[in-house]
Structure 1
Amino acid sequence: MPLSLDLTDAKTRLQWAGMTAASGDKIALIGLNKTQMAQAFKDAGVPEKQARMRASQVWQWIYVRGHDDFSRMSNIGKELRATLEEKFTLERPEIVEEQISEDGTRKWLFRFPARGAGAPVEVETVYIPEADRGTLCISSQVGCTLTCTFCHTGTQKLVRNLTAGEILMQLMVARDRLGDFPDADIPQGGVVPSEGRKVTNIVMMGMGEPLYNFEHVKQALLIAADGEGLGLSKRRITLSTSGVVPAIYRTGEEIGCALAISLHATNDALRDEIVPINKKHNIAELLQACRDYPGVSNAKRITFEYVMLKGVNDSLNEAKELVQLLKGIPAKINLIPFNPWPGSNYECSDWEEIEKFADFINANGYASPIRTPRGRDILAACGQLKSESERMRIKERMALEATRAMVAGHGED
């Protein structure tokens, strides 16, 4: 279980939050909660009696209006604005690449600056527009440690956790690009979406296991749900986990968002193989945590994600076992057609088998929508994030190095 951190000491707080910007020693404000922001202002010389008020003002400029320029904060005096500009930053990550799928799905490759002795890191974030909502899939780690055998993202090694600020910045930039802040200028190249295509929901289903980065994910999601800022309902925030059971209890108690479980198997023998964390927290332990999740009801159901693997977990018998396993848990079962990737040993179940599976589950009282693959043409579908772009960038670097070597060789002739 992740340890709770004492963030009252200013130095500890700054180190934990990873707030030092690449440009000098400026402190990044995105990702701080209100108490931390007020403390940072006091550390910068703002009188104690004013610090909380100034933090509240800046908070609204950041999260309600989406501003990244202190000079535009018109209800703050020029002298203080100059101090803020000198000591703090609202810097967004670099957008390395932005792709738009033929189905309207958008994928961004973000580069975050180096922290400490580390190198800059890159993650991918996906926006999925639908008629009644716009969902943003957010990453929590660079890489992943879980090595689920069907997941392309899991073939990467873990580089590091993202900070609360880096998690939130994915949401901030998506809102920038979609014209989703009320009085922010639309950036060059940004798109004003049609009605219903702004970010209404966020899902922690991108790169990484969110509950292995609990403290930062918790802080980011509580800021996202703050009614005086980004104002997303906790019912529209879903955290997906492969089964870090102790932290599931903490999620219910300390965050209170919707919960999704990457289940994918109906028995421990198979789940041990395809979702290795099951060896640490088995299915019975995982489902007990689901039964105990605060507020779980027909109005607040747990989502179980089940990737359909041909000849592995897609038989009618497994559909029957799944219904028995989830008995008594208010649940929805998302059936996910497997998204193939180079080197995988799996195939997607035949569509006819997926429909039979879904029909049986529906007949037994559980909603079982078949998730329509989105963004496959830009490798933005479930389980495809970052790995392919990383592979392509490695190929590009190798080609560049080969070219340099050839040029150097000609120079020696």
Structure 2
Amino acid sequence: MVTSPLLTKSLAELTDWVEAQGQPRYRGKQLHQWLYEKGIRSLAEVSVFPKAWRESLQDYPIGRSSIDVCTTAPDLTRKYLLRLQDGLIIETVGIPSAKRLTVCVSSQVGCAMDCTFCATGKGGFFRNLSAHEIVDQVLTVQNEFQTRVSNVVFMGMGEPLLNLPNVVKAIHCLNQDVGIGQRGLTISTVGLPQKIQQLAQHHLQITFAVSLHASNQALREQLIPSAKHYPFEQLLADCRDYVAITGRRVTFEYILLAGVNDHPQQAQELAQALRGFQSHVNLIPYNPISEVDYQRPSEARIQSFSEALTLQRVAVSVRYSRGLQADAACGQLRATRAPQDPVLA
């Protein structure tokens, strides 16, 4: 019989669990605090529990990973390689600033999307992450930095909408149990048929980001192979429906690749496609990976593209990724150490 980890259980569920163990109900609140505020990795650490009871439960699964490698970039961004219980490795990134601590979490082990400019898909796809494996990434970074996490972005390894049930469960846990406001949570997707509508039906108050990266269908198919199954106009129509259902605008991410998608005419075409849309365009200068020879545009080219959108009344910003020197920036994540053989249940 597989024992369900405690991580992602609500206060009510933890209270029921401690009662089933023959303990008083108030220990559920204690356990909730030690799980989500103190970030324990073993029930043996819960010093407020009776010693004999916690020792009997020290091997009960909480759902925490172990840190395999930590790399720190000059800008103090940290990339963690986390080893899961089955031996597979994922990456998560802690991004500190003066006012906040952001965690970039993975939603899958690997990725099946195979976007041409992204390192993650080069290693293939292994499996979805469970909700507790997603929440664990946030608690790991919070423990390591000894600072409360304020923002979480689902922009690490994997396509979140291909793991929607576990992603939504993790979001509710991060919001209700860890205490991060939904508006501090971001889901980023390349866009998949029917999946945007499914996400909209959850009526989350998160930030929703779509990796567009092109101003037309033909170019998008070159950069994102899965786009051939999702026409450009249909994707935008689904995004408009998302805005109507949730009342939340859509952020369109657009990685600028020199000589590929950074021409002024493409900025004009993009502006035309987004006309009248409650949206925001986030321009991301390309972060290099070894497998392809794309180049980052010059500062002048980046500024020119941004100004062309602004002149067309499109809300736009330029995001320079953190952690570049540690291969922790947007598009650079991959499990760079080979995983051990998975542990069989």
Common fold by TM > 0.5: yes
The yes-or-no answer on 1:31 pairing with 2:8 is yes
Aligned partners of 1:112 and 1:121 also within 8 Å: yes
Q: Residue 216 of structure 2: which of 250, 254, 267 is its match? A: 267
Letter of the structure 2 residue corresponding to residue 306 of structure 1: Y
1:247 and 1:56, CA in 2 relative to 1: closer, same or farther beyond 3 A?
A: farther
Match of 1:244 among 192, 217, 224: 192
Partner of 1:199: 149
> Aligned match of 1:222 in 172, 177, 182?
172
Whether 2:20 is the aligned partner of 1:63: answer no
Q: Partner of 2:302 in structure 1?
A: 354
Find the counterpart in structure 2 of residue 382 from structure 1. 330
Greater CA drift, 252-261 or 318-327: 252-261
Q: Between the two structures, name the one with larger relative contact order (CA 8 Å, sep ≥ 6).
A: 2
Secondary structure (helix, strand or coil) at the match of 1:339 reads: coil
In the TM superposition, residue 79 of structure 1 has moved relative to its aligned partner by 5.6
Deviations along 1:20-66, whole A, 9 cap, x unmatched? Answer: 5xxxxxx4211334565456556x5448xx66x64444222211333
Q: Which residue pairs with 1:24 in the alignment?
A: none
Write the distance in 2 (CA, Å) between the matches of 1:204 and 1:286.
20
Using the TM superposition, give the Cα deviation of residue 313 of structure 1 relative to its aligned residue in structure 2, in angstroms. Answer: 1.0
Confirm whether residue 315 of structure 1 aligns to residue 315 of structure 2. no
Asked if 1:153 is matched to 2:125, the reply is no
Which residues of structure 1 form unaligned runs of 5+?
1-10, 15-19, 21-26, 115-119, 181-197, 395-413
After superposition, the Cα gap between the structure-2 partners of 1:39 and 1:211, relative to the gap in structure 1 and judged at 3 Å, is farther
Query: Equivalents in 1 of 2:291, 2:45: separation in Å?
Result: 51
- 2:239 corresponds to which of 267, 290, 312: 290
2:124 aligns to what SS in structure 1? coil
TM superposition shift of 1:332: 1.5
Change (3 A) 1:318 1:288: same
Deviations 1:307-350 (A, max 9, x none): 11112111111111111111222222111111111120322222
Deviations for 1:186-223, whole angstroms, at most 9, x for unmatched residues? xxxxxxxxxxxx52100000000011111111111110
The code of the aligned residue for 1:208 comes to G
Identity of aligned residues (%): 36
- State the Cα distance separating 1:92 from its structure 2 match: 2.8
Structure 2 residue corresponding to 1:212, chosen from 162, 169, 176 = 162
The Cα RMSD (Å) is 2.4
What's the secondary structure of 1:108's corresponding residue?
A: strand
Deviation at 1:76, TM superposition (A): 4.5
- The equivalences for 1:101-250 within 5 A come to 101-114=73-86, 120-180=87-147, 198-226=148-176, 229-250=177-198
Q: Which amino acid aligns with 1:67?
A: I
Counterpart for residue 342 of structure 2: none
- Corresponding pairs, count: 337
Corresponding residue SS for 1:218: helix
Separation of aligned partners in 2, 1:71 and 1:82: 6
Segments of structure 2 that go 5 or more residues without pairing to the other structure are 340-345
Deviations, residues 151-183 of structure 1 (Å, cap 9, x unaligned): 111111101111111111110110110113xxx
CA contact 2:17–2:28 (8 Å) conserved in 1: no
User: Displacement of 1:237 after TM fit?
Assistant: 0.2
- For the 8 Å contact 1:335–1:371, the answer to whether it is kept is yes
One-letter code of the match for 1:230? V
Q: Is the contact between residue 361 and residue 368 of structure 1 (CA under 8 Å) also seen in structure 2? A: yes
